[in-house]
Structure 1
């Protein structure tokens, strides 16, 4: 049986010529010598530059420990910002110094001759293993680490000190509150008024129009022992819709005249859910796009979250202000090892 050859399927070069069956080896580019290859002073200068970069890393690592010890986060936004800034800059110098030193070392001090080797079978025979060990020894010799004591000391010191910038703050926080059940306790109690974040002004039900959304905090939040910590747990997103749009509620009296309130802490990884879509009644987390239906007890309709947002039962007091009937119905925030659903 004969087959028909379609010449239109033949591959050609850009000028229309047929592709060759085998390409010629173009070889290696001509090696361009560096200044340090022929000038010992230039090579010594490059070595000092690498040492300086490692020294910067050492200072950064020490600085991270000092910044953590002398500039604690504190209880104010300003102190937290300053502590994070100093700690972040110090860690940057610690890691960047190591990285830049390694790159400069490789480019300025190690052998830069290009080599081409034929491809061979990858079976790890004994001769191959012996050759690999020889190559490693040659690499150590090529790096000149054995005869550059200052360079070796700077590298070892920077690598040894850098983990301290991470380990010291981590160990220092081990004495904190590791009670995972703390997420079950917030400032919300029966009778606590809902107030606007951040002004703290109480909210009357008559001030909340259909389609509006409010970011809410408990009344007298500033009087708490740790206001920022308590706010992080108690923040609420409150919206109002037509009561006829409510599909279900978790119990009698969880909302007031179409006004519903849910924790702003996403049940995926704890990002703030702060976006409300008026037409669909969807609440969106901007971090990973978890989407919750405010009209249906904030159940998950899209995204990686597995639990609904905890709902805050609300009503009004004698003066018409919105108040909590109780705390959240479930622990706020993402799941942990004691709470998988």
Structure 2
């Protein structure tokens, strides 16, 4: 047995060490031999690959232009049906996909078929100010020369066009998120006013059948739209703001704040269906807990507390629609909502 008194790997014998002779037996294998590609040997193949790369960059340009057509032309044809909206969304997605895919695949194909593929190894040197700057300039010049971008104008021009156009769709999309200046005030005004007004009947969605107070039982829930919505010029736009949930509960369980005593009809209440987080439609009502749940991010609203947020990211209670009954017993609105509907990150006056 060896001496293990020190317990170190060097002395314990538990670690095998290579001596100088063993190191000589396994020399550095070096770099593998370079195998020339077809484009390296055949100028016609190189020219063919060059056209392929340019074609991919051109596909990127076409994808961006296709996005513009879908965004500006299809998006300004007036009121669109659900089928037309799906077509536009598919066109936007395809345009973006081809714009990004064309650039990515084109650059990869360029690198694998035309750019130099010689393996090399460079030692790291200490940084020296002026000399290092000169070395950096030389490296950049070498990269440009080896990439062939100077002597391949077809690739260069299509690449410049693809890169110049690709970010523009994102700019227009982010521009639509602008919430400053007149845009914000116009948005708030549009969300503050819906089709609801004094005397407008509550009707079932989507049939438009008026609802009587006697039709609403405790525990039931109705998806409701204003009467006449389906006959408007832009029903989808109006529905996106005006759709509500109608429910009935025991009046003894309701916590009614001052000024809202007459907003319900014997426990029948109506609240905006649009979640105040990011605007998802609320569709789930738990009768036993009196909770409304948003399926997108699990925001939960308590119907007994005037749809106060009790869980989730929503930062504002659901707006309540004041309702009453007309002479025929049908449920009607007393007025429009008293506050803007929709996500609470939009400014509220």
Q: TM-score, normalising length from structure 2? A: 0.78
Superimposed CA distance per residue, residues 179-233 of structure 1 (whole angstroms, 9 cap, x where no aligned partner): 1222110111122111111111112222222222221111110233322211111
The residue that corresponds to 1:252 in the other structure is: 261
1:182 paired with 2:190, answer yes
Match in the other structure for 1:14: none
Residue deviations 1:136-186 (CA, integer Å, cap 9, x gap): 332222211011011111111222334555667888999999612221101
2:83 is aligned with 1:47? no
User: Does structure 1 conserve the Cα–Cα contact (< 8 Å) formed by 2:314 and 2:344?
Assistant: no
Which of these residues, 205, 217, 226, is aligned with residue 234 of structure 2?
Answer: 226
Unaligned runs of 5+ in 2: 19-25
Name the SS for the 1:265 alignment partner. coil
1:317 to 319, 326, 331: 326
Residue deviations 1:276-296, cap 9 Å, x none? 223322222222222211221
The answer to whether the aligner puts 1:135 opposite 2:139 as a matched pair is: yes
Residue 160 of structure 2: which of 156, 159, 163 is its match? 156
Could you say what the CA RMSD is over the residues aligned between the two structures, in angstroms?
3.6
CA distance in 2, matches of 1:113, 1:298: 68
Contact 1:68 1:169 (8 Å CA) reproduced: no
SS in 2 for 1:179: helix
The residue matched to 1:261 in structure 2 has which SS? Answer: strand
Counterparts of 1:37 and 1:225 in 2: how far apart (Å)?
64
> Does the aligned pair in 1 maintain the 2:302–2:308 contact within 8 Å?
yes
Cα distance in 1, alignment partners of residues 186 and 77 from structure 2: 20
Q: Is contact 1:205–1:316 with CA below 8 Å preserved after alignment? A: yes
Mark the CA change 1:245 to 1:124 in structure 2 (over 3 Å): closer, same or farther: farther
- The match for 1:280 is 289
2:303 maps to which residue?
294
C-alpha contact 2:184 2:347 (8 A) present in aligned 1: no
Over 3 Å counting, the alpha-carbon distance change for 1:31 and 1:147 in structure 2 is same
Question: Which of 321-330 and 205-214 deviates more?
Answer: 205-214
Secondary structure of 2:305's match?
Answer: coil
Whether the 8 Å CA contact 1:254–1:314 is kept in 2: the answer is: yes
Distance 2:73 2:317 in 1: 41
Larger Cα-atom Rg: 2
Secondary structure at the counterpart of residue 78 of structure 2? coil
CA contact (8 A) 1:65 1:169 kept: no
For residues 93-149 of structure 1, what are the alpha-carbon distances to aligned partners after superposition, in whole Å with 9 as ceiling and x for unaligned? 22322222122222322233455566778x785544443333333222221101101
Residue 13 (structure 1) aligns with: none
| CA gap 1:241/1:29 in 2 versus in 1, 3 angstroms | farther
- Kindly tell me: are residues 25 and 98 of structure 1, through their superposed partners in 2, closer, same or farther at Cα, counting changes over 3 Å? farther
Aligned 1:1-341 pairs, distance under 5 A = 30=32, 33=35, 34-68=37-71, 70-71=73-74, 72-77=76-81, 78-114=83-119, 125-163=129-167, 165=169, 179-180=186-187, 181-249=189-257, 251-336=260-345, 338-339=347-348
Q: Say which SS state the counterpart of residue 145 (structure 1) adopts.
A: coil
Cα distance change on mapping 1:28 and 1:327 into 2, 3 Å: farther
Question: Relative to structure 1, is the Cα distance of residues 275 and 104 closer, same or farther in structure 2, using a 3 angstrom cutoff?
Answer: farther
Alpha-carbon separation, structure 2, partners of 1:56 and 1:155? 11
Q: Which SS does the other structure have where 1:214 is aligned?
A: strand
Taking structure 1 as the reference length, what is the TM-score of the superposition?
0.80
**Secondary structure of the structure 1 residue equivalent to 2:246:** strand
The answer on whether the counterparts of 1:73 and 1:80 sit within 8 Å (CA) in structure 2 is no
